[in-house]
Chains A and B, each alone.
Chain A
Amino acid sequence: MKKIEVLFNKDTRSGFGEGLLEAARKNENIVALCADLIGSLKMDAFIKEFPERFIQTGIAEANMIGLAAGLTIGGKIPFAGTFANFATARVYDQIRQSVAYSKKNVKICASHAGITLGEDGATHQILEDIGMMKMLPNMCVINPCDFNQTKAATLAIAAYNGPVYLRFGRPVVPNFTNVDDVFEIGKGSIINEGSDVTIFACGHLVWKAIEAGYILSDKGINAEIINLHTIKPLDEKLVLSSVRKTHCAVTAEEHMLFGGLGESIAGLLSRNFPAPLEFVAVNDVFGQSGKPEELMIKYGLDAPDIVNAALKVLERKNN
């Protein structure tokens, strides 16, 4: 497997913060809202440069979503930010009626998603958000893998007309995408070409998939690693073309098995090209307090878990 270079280590939420500032410099209609989590969402630089375009809503997420929907009517492009739990589960009906059904150009920007939020525990570790958001008609769902890609995704959604759910996280993680990589909504990218098994991953699990790829490579297994940053609309062409080549696949995500990327891929494959498939995801349990890395191991989201899943599907393929 080819060597994937780590350029630096940084949190994905900082990529959002930089992307927001850059997008705002390009388009004066971009405004930002936040429900008492400015620092966590890395909005400080935006607020410093564009104070008149920032709206502090206080701890009132339902109102924040409604305000954002209303702002679009006057031609604004609102980026509404808070923790992923409060950006989705807490305000699902507001998003459903005022944003998705009403086709409003609102960008729901969700930080601290998944288990890697860490010590705060299960109340804040949402693992169901991708599922909830992808079920909504008109909603686009994106979970980028590192700092550069989160920044690129933020710029891309600013230019896209329609509701978007952008999911990112808290921990410092390896950055391996280049600053000038093209980010296209709905188009996955092949990180490593392989022929034995495909690993589809999104978010923080893309790096874990790369680590798994090295381990598999040492075992003589040539894994194709694909970064599916957009869960909806799914890059069906890329998924099918890869599995037609490898005839087996593993999905990896920092999300509940039900409703996640894996479920979308399972549905696609079962309709078009049934093949052995395993899921690396949280399996129907709530998380708990702990260090992000400890939790990734505890809940089976680590590189060895991806390797084991790959070995399983390879065995099924070869029998």
Chain B
Amino acid sequence: MTVKELQKIATQVRRDILRMVHAVNSGHPGGSLGCTDFMVALYFKILNHKKEFSMNGYNEDLFFLSNGHTSPLWYSVLARSGYFDVSELSSFRRLHTRLQGHPSTDKNLPGVRIASGSLGQGLSAAIGAAMAKKMNKDQCLVYCLTGDGELQEGQVWEAAMFAAAKNIDNIIAVVDYNGQQIDGPVDKVMPLGNLKAKWESFGWDVLEMNGNDMNETVNMLYIAKEHTKKAKPVVILMKTEMGYGVDFMSGTHQWHGKAPNDEQLKNALAQLEETIGDY
């Protein structure tokens, strides 16, 4: 798949996110829009995954979403890559839906292997899954996306220390480094300091990329793969803009967990062409 085709899908996914959140007047569009290019690149280009979902994921790459509030993005990408019908996206956050506000395994949604939403837990689970792969002599990789505000949770650093100590080198963690969290800029709420130095001092191989440049994202994900199996866990600090793709939502924490109204939706969708068909 070409970068141009990936960009087309990303545009459609962004439309899905906005329409899903608008329809139930709740959900988290900001981080979802910011991470769209990465997740589309991952699922449509990078991830070695099977069509049929199986919980154990033997002999396929696994993805864990630790910042579970970006669920509308994940659901759209899962549906668009064939895990379930895109029409189900209209059930997002509604009673009896498999598309819970935050991802869960409770109703057996294909593609989801563990619940997330309460922050800081996904990296531990991803490392556990990566260890099981090693024990099973399974050569495939494990990916995990976390937020940057999420790195304020202590458990993330317990996991970081552990993975390096145990040479868990079949994992690629990705930090959505958008610099925003609910209460404002990360630098004001609780600064992360020199994040690259922090991960390096914890023993990780640190890469950086612009996660809103599809070309760069695809290339860096390939490079990251080359960095695995070298006795060190790999992390990508992924610069993104919260709300990327919609001008009035970009670069601010204001749209972290707020749905657009009818007028705002219309305005936003006018900026995002319907490329492969709305759900």
Contact = CB atoms under 8 A, between A and B. Distances in A.
Nearest to B105: A102
Nearest to B160: A63
B64 to A, nearest CB: 8
B129 A70 contact: yes
A62 B55 contact: no
B128 interface: yes
Nearest to A63: B158
- Most chain B beta carbons < 10 A, residue from A67, A71, A96: A67
A69 B125 CA distance: 6
A97 B128 contact: no
B114 A102 contact: yes
B158 A62 contact: yes
B105 A70 contact: no
A161 to B, nearest CB: 12
A55 B165 CA distance: 11
A67 B133 CA distance: 13
B55 A57 contact: no
Contacts of A187: none
A238 to B, nearest CB: 31
B133 A74 contact: yes
Interface residues of B, number: 40
B145 interface: no
Interface in A51-87: 52-53, 55, 57-58, 60, 62-63, 65-76, 78
Nearest to A71: B128
A98 B114 contact: yes
A70 B121 CA distance: 10
Contacts of B133: 74
Contacts, number: 122
Contacts of B105: 101-103
Contacts of A63: 124, 127, 155, 158-159, 162
Contacts of B125: 66-67, 69-70, 73, 98
Given A73-B114, A73-B132, A74-B136, A67 B62 contact: no
B79 to A, nearest CB: 21
B269 interface: no
B162 A74 contact: no
Contacts of B122: 66
Contacts of B114: 69-70, 73, 98, 102, 104
Contacts of A94: 121, 124, 155
B56 interface: yes
Contacts of B117: 97
A68 B128 contact: yes
Interface in B142-164: 154-155, 158-159, 161-162
Interface residues of A, number: 31
A72 to B, nearest CB: 8
B115 A73 contact: no
Contacts of A101: 104-106, 115
Given A63-B158, A75-B56, A102-B105, A70 B116 contact: no
Interface string B54-78: 0111100010100000000000000
B235 to A, nearest CB: 16
Contacts of A93: 118, 121
Contact of B128 (A69, A96, A103): A69
Nearest to B128: A70
B118 A74 contact: no
Interface of B: 55-58, 62, 64, 104-106, 113-118, 120-133, 135-136, 138, 154-155, 158-159, 161-162, 165-166
Given A66-B121, A71-B128, A98-B115, 11 more contacts: A31-B135, A63-B158, A66-B122, A71-B129, A73-B113, A74-B58, A74-B132, A74-B136, A96-B118, A98-B121, A101-B115
15 contacts: A31-B135, A62-B155, A66-B123, A67-B124, A67-B125, A70-B124, A71-B128, A71-B132, A75-B58, A94-B155, A98-B124, A98-B125, A102-B104, A102-B105, A103-B105
Interface of A: 31, 52-53, 55, 57-58, 60, 62-63, 65-76, 78, 93-94, 96-98, 101-104
Nearest 6 interchain pairs by C-beta? A70-B128, A74-B132, A66-B124, A63-B158, A60-B158, A70-B125
